[in-house]
């Protein structure tokens, strides 16, 4: 099972690409470039950032399709209160997979928003500020989910040994 620290280390290339990409596009695109080209360039950078994240991500558990939405959501939300992971391995694994995805999504989104802000600072006349709304909104939603995901992963790793078996301390 991947830890939050392992995900952070593996996300370094993604963060560098997402932060450096928009300022580079702002420098490379000519001043008179229309909004359509800016939209295409920003969208392409966003898509490439997600692709890079997919390529460098650490191995993650696969969600159990038999586990209902309510069960894994409850597992993620209840861990912040009771510091317990579910006993059912399917629910535990599915909630861990969702937690990993939420942490990675936050890293990608916050890096990309920072990159666009830096692009605006590099080229204030560039229309990339008009494309900042959706990623910023997604980042805020992701930020609200980040705490529960990090807590879940911390509790899960505190209760699980290196080989994935339950540890003796309970």
- Residue by residue, pLDDT tens for the chain (170 residues) are 677 788 888 889 999 999 999 899 888 887 666 777 888 888 899 899 999 999 998 888 788 888 888 888 888 888 888 888 888 888 888 888 888 889 999 999 999 999 989 988 988 877 777 778 888 899 999 999 898 988 888 888 887 543 344 443 43
Residues near 28 by beta carbon (within 8 Å), at least 6 away in sequence? none
What gap in Å lies between CA 26 and CA 130, rounded to an integer? Answer: 14
b/e 33-60 (16+ beta carbons within 10 angstroms → b) = beeeebeebbeebbeebbebbeebbeeb
């Amino acid at each position: 099972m991947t830890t939050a620290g392992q995900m952070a280390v593996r996300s370094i290339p993604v963060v560098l690409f997402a932060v450096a990409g928009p300022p580079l596009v702002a420098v490379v695109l000519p001043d008179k470039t229309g909004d359509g080209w800016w939209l295409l360039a920003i969208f392409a950078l966003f898509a490439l950032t997600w692709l890079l994240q997919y390529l460098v991500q650490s191995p993650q558990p696969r969600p159990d399709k038999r586990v209902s939405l309510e069960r894994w959501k409850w597992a993620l939300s209840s861990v912040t209160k009771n510091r317990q992971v579910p006993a059912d391995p399917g629910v535990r694994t599915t909630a861990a997979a969702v937690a990993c995805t939420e942490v990675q999504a936050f890293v990608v989104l916050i890096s990309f928003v920072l990159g666009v802000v830096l692009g605006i600072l590099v080229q204030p006349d560039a229309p990339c500020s008009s494309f900042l709304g959706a990623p910023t909104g997604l980042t805020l939603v992701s930020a609200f989910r980040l705490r529960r995901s990090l807590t879940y992963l911390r509790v899960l790793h505190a209760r699980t040994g290196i080989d994935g078996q339950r540890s003796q301390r309970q």
